[in-house]
A and B are shown apart, each in its own frame.
Chain A
């Protein structure tokens, strides 16, 4: 457990404030993007199934195939964006915070 004095010190640390600001803004932003993509897809399925059934060009492959597959791919890409950002910047900040507040 962190004691009260070091808690206040960490909370005042500019590195900590930057970490919290960056992580929560990116985390909530990407969550919102994922929600919009997924529920956009679900609303298309529910209200415009015929749109997803429009063939691409002259073949039988429909718009729905690339749309559905890209939701899967985007889910992976968004996760990748978060992990990349976190690995490059959050971990550096966390290391600094831990070093500065070692008691």
Chain B
């Protein structure tokens, strides 16, 4: 544990110095160094490092490392799931979207929430009853271990990679703005802290970081939304009236705008958001941290409540920012305001900063510091959850099950996942820096599309369909993965915006490929499975009954604790 204390001491001690150094080199788009934000952030990091130290002492077995020993309660897990899901993208991104387009922001919030009931009804309990550490435990329950583990690892790692890049680039940009740190320092800081949390504290530390962050974020957002409503005498009508008066789009912000114009595109995005949620590896992993199926079911209920409440808050926060930020010269860039005459377009740092400026408007500099620190904490926590899911997939699925054929020494497996975390951390830092000036907005959509087209179909078919065979799952799963990636590359967002081909030349008109990539995956799984006459297929189908009884009753399920 000496090494750990040493590392954290260096890190804590170096934080203010890094900030000082960065403060001296003022970049164009950077804010002045925000001391109250840095102070509160250092406090958060200190607290999480103490927790990591505590967790590290209690993390000995593989069950501790991957699933926090199964000792998380339903309520705690509900908060942790909400923490994993309420990323900086949804906090700053959605409130920013409401700020610029009004109602369109709500359409996204709704899409991001509606996957949760489906998870509750069809997946949560079955997942807990069948699996142990990763969702591949469930999909490979009665199917060929090697093939299915490789498929699940590919699906997990690709999803995690795109999600991670989007978070790292977002983190770098945001921290540059919030704290006045250089982009690369911000990315290294996020990557470094994440590696410490995950390698030393495993799932226990990651879960508690997630819980603390969820509580901070929910309280901060509640205070902000409350302060906004207070200013308008707790009358949403008065808030909307003022917003439509000052917003250049006037009454159009109260109805669906141009964001979703093509009906097929809207449905495709809806499918990706709804079913992608049920296929995100870092979310699915959380169901193994609770005692039993009952706790798993309760935890999604709490999570749905927290996330739904949070999205309602972001809607109020976005409208609050329209009324209080876009009308205050303090938060606007004078030269852009001169040109566009619109307070919405002239917001300092872009629309993602709407919630941050609003914090300053309603709570002054101290609260601004608090919200900035929470935003940073949010990124840190989400990135840690992603890294843990990716590392588990490498160590448990690939190393433990494929390479060692299920006979890996527990300590070796933990060591491999720690090494994998370090590799993923370095890779995330590297990719974060490489993609600094790229448009990465499509990457979260792509992660959801892949989760919905590869992980989700295989998972749901393996739980519910007797006829599923190994060959069917592998062919259908890879077809879904491939068509999702190809569909995104050929979509307007990447073909025209990122690759720079002529406008209107994109071969696929849908911004999100889920509509056809999910169809391809399900059709592929079904067709190949029913045509499969191999010996393995007979074993796969025969295994269904035992799997089904266990998924329903939990008899034989992995016990919560290894001790």
Q: CA–CA, A76 to B340, complex, Å?
A: 41
A7-50 at interface with B (beta carbon < 8 Å): 7, 10-11, 16, 19-20, 23, 26-28, 30-31, 34-35, 37-39, 41-43, 45-47, 49-50
A15 to chain B, nearest CB (A): 10
Chain A residues with CB below 8 A from B252, complex form: 53
Mark the stretch among B259-267, B280-288, B436-444 that contacts chain A: B259-267
Given contacts A10-B549, A68-B106, A87-B294, contact A75 B251 (CB under 8 A): no
Hey, which chain B residues are within 8 Å of A73, CB to CB? 308
A59 touching B240 in the complex, CB below 8 Å, given contacts A71-B114, A75-B308, A78-B117 = yes
Q: How far is the CA of A87 from the CA of B254 in the complex (A)?
A: 40
Given contacts A39-B270, A42-B266, contact A1 B308 (CB under 8 A): no
Mark out the residues of chain B between 271 and 306 whose CB falls within 8 Å of any chain A CB in the assembled complex: 274, 294, 297-298, 300-301, 304-305
A7 to B546, CA, bound (A): 7
Contact across chains for A91 and B553 when beta carbons are under 8 A apart: no
Residues of the B chain whose Cβ atoms lie less than 8 Å from the Cβ of A86 = 125, 294, 297
B107 at interface, CB cutoff 8 A:
yes
Residue contact B254 to A62, C-beta cutoff 8 Å: yes
User: Per-position contact with A for B113-134: 1 when CB-CB < 8 Å, else 0?
Assistant: 1101110111001000000000
Contact of B255 among A37, A64, A69, A94 (CB under 8 A): A64
A80 to chain B, nearest CB (A): 6
A61, CB-defined interface residue at 8 Å: yes
Q: B236 within 8 Å of A by Cβ? A: yes
Cβ contact within 8 Å between B122 and A27: yes
Which residues from chain A contact B241 at a C-beta distance below 8 Å? 59-60
Are B260 and A46 touching (Cβ within 8 A)? yes
Q: Are A65 and B254 in contact (CB under 8 A)?
A: yes
CB of B146 within 8 Å of the partner chain: no
The distance in angstroms between the C-alpha atoms of A74 and B477, with both chains bound, is: 32
Please classify how large the interface on chain B is, using the bins under 10, 10 to 19, 20 to 34, 35 or more.
35 or more
CB-CB nearest in chain A for B264: A46
List residues of chain B with CB within 8 A of the CB of A49. 255-257
Q: Hey, which chain A residues are within 8 Å of B550, CB to CB? A: 2
Inter-chain CA distance A87–B301, complex, in Å, is 12
What is the predominant secondary structure among interface residues of chain A facing chain B?
A: helix
Q: Which residues of B contact A31 (CB under 8 A)?
A: 117-118, 121-122
Chain B residue at smallest Cβ distance from A49: B256
Assuming the contacts A42-B266, A69-B312, asked whether A75 and B294 have C-beta atoms less than 8 A apart, the reply is: no
Whole-angstrom distance from the CB of B169 to the nearest CB of chain A? 29
CB contacts (< 8 Å) of B109 on chain A: these are 68, 72
A10 touching B555 in the complex, CB below 8 Å, given contacts A34-B117, A46-B260, A82-B120: yes
Decide if B549 touches A38 in the complex (CB within 8 Å).
Answer: no
Contact, CB under 8 Å: B103 / A68? yes
Which of A52, A76, A79 is close to B103, meaning CB atoms less than 8 Å apart? A52
Residues of B contacting A80 with CB < 8 Å? 301
CB-CB contacts of B300-321 with A at 8 A, as 1s and 0s? 1100110010011000000000
Count residues on chain A whose CB falls below 8 Å from chain B CBs.
55
A-B pairs with beta carbons under 8 A, tally: 162
Complex CA gap A2/B109 in Å reads: 43
* Given known A-B contacts A27-B121, A94-B554, A60 and B244 have beta carbons under 8 A apart: yes
CB neighbours (8 Å) of A46 from chain B are 260, 262-263, 266-267
Given contacts A82-B121, A83-B120, A86-B297, contact A60 B555 (CB under 8 A): no
A10 CA / B546 CA spacing, docked (Å): 10
Residues of B within 8 A of A69 (CB): 106, 312
Known: A10-B549, A83-B297. A1 touches B120 (CB 8 A): no
CB atoms of A75 and B114 under 8 A apart: yes
How far in angstroms is the closest Cβ of chain B from A67?
9
A72 and B311 contact, CB distance less than 8 A: yes
Q: Does A101 contact B (CB under 8 A)?
A: yes
Q: Does B118 lie within 8 Å of A45, measured CB to CB?
A: no
Known: A45-B256, A53-B255, A91-B294. A72 touches B312 (CB 8 A): yes
| Chain B residues near A65 (CB-CB < 8 A) | 103, 106, 236, 240, 254
Residue of B nearest to A15 (CB): B553
For residue B552, CB closer than 8 A to chain A, the reply is yes
The answer to whether the Cβ of B556 comes within 8 Å of any Cβ in the partner chain is: yes
Contact of A38 among B103, B114, B255, B552 (CB under 8 A): B114
Complex interface: chain A residues within 8 A of B121 (CB): 26-28, 30-31, 34, 82
Given known A75-B116, A82-B120, contact A19–B549 (CB-CB < 8 A): no
Kindly list chain A residues whose C-beta atoms are within 8 Å of the C-beta of B113: 71-72, 75
* Minimum CB–CB distance for A88 against chain B, Å: 11
Q: Within the assembled complex, what's the spacing in Å between the Cα atoms of A34 and B257?
A: 24
Task: Let me know if A61 and B236 touch, CB within 8 A.
Answer: yes
Contact indicator A98/B301 (Cβ below 8 Å): no
Q: Does B260 contact A45, Cβ atoms closer than 8 Å?
A: yes
Given contacts A38-B114, A75-B113, A87-B297, 13 further A-B contacts (CB under 8 A): A2-B546, A10-B553, A19-B553, A20-B552, A31-B121, A37-B114, A60-B244, A72-B109, A72-B113, A76-B308, A82-B121, A91-B294, A101-B555
